[in-house]
Chains A and B, each alone.
Chain A
Amino acid sequence: AQSVAQPEDQVNVAEGNPLTVKCTYSVSGNPYLFWYVQYPNRGLQFLLKYITGDNLVKGSYGFEAEFNKSQTSFHLKKPSALVSDSALYFCAVREQSGGYQKVTFGIGTKLQVIP
């Protein structure tokens, strides 16, 4: 069974500082990995995904994530945090294989950017 772990319930960072939101995963085969952001009273918004190729993936709003196969991690990063980045961030995984494979989400990490 596939799973995602987001070890931090909340991450606090000062505006202008770099931020990292951690994610580790477990799948039987090769993974597809995703990051989504959820603002209050709104649906999830897609940020970025890793399918194959370059381990560093760039996404929306200046976010990027690094796929590390040996550590089974896919941490989300941004060089300089904005107050408007404060939201709930979800990491998700699905296995690369034939047919439909459901996406499994983590429990989310609340990012608080302090002015």
Chain B
Amino acid sequence: DTGVSQDPRHKITKRGQNVTFRCDPISEHNRLYWYRQTLGQGPEFLTYFQNEAQLEKSRLLSDRFSAERPKGSFSTLEIQRTEQGDSAMYLCASSSERERDTQYFGPGTRLTVL
């Protein structure tokens, strides 16, 4: 399968712990996006990478959140000192330079903070 993959698919953690999620985009896709989706809502934009450069960050991305894409391939999203309000589905998407407006989504990582 050459689609967007995310790991882990589910994560349960205790409040105050740090968590890290990984996203592997479709190969050759130079653009990568992170979204957060809560129950009954659509995806909310978090951040955007073009190659290894993080070009856009939402105000939703507090100081506890950090994202990297060190070699322009896979990306990680880390949440430090998790809070119960961080419980959500975290979605990753990628797009190519040629079809930059067509985003392909991964299956998501469901985070539950106890």
Binding site for B on A (CB under 8 A): 4, 32, 34, 36, 41-46, 49, 51, 90, 92, 94, 100, 102-108
Contact = CB atoms under 8 A, between A and B. Distances in A.
Q: Is the interface of B mostly helix, strand, loop or mixed?
A: loop
A107 B108 CA distance: 17
Interface centre among A90, A92, A102, A106 (most CB of B within 10 A): A102
B58 to A, nearest CB: 7
A45 B43 CA distance: 13
B25 interface: no
B103 interface: yes
B108 A103 contact: no
A102 B43 CA distance: 12
Contacts of B55: 100
Interface string B71-114: 00000000000000000000101000000011111111000000
B21 interface: no
Given A102-B56, A103-B103, A43 B108 contact: yes
B2 interface: no
B4 interface: yes
Given A100-B55, A108-B42, A43 B102 contact: no
B62 interface: no
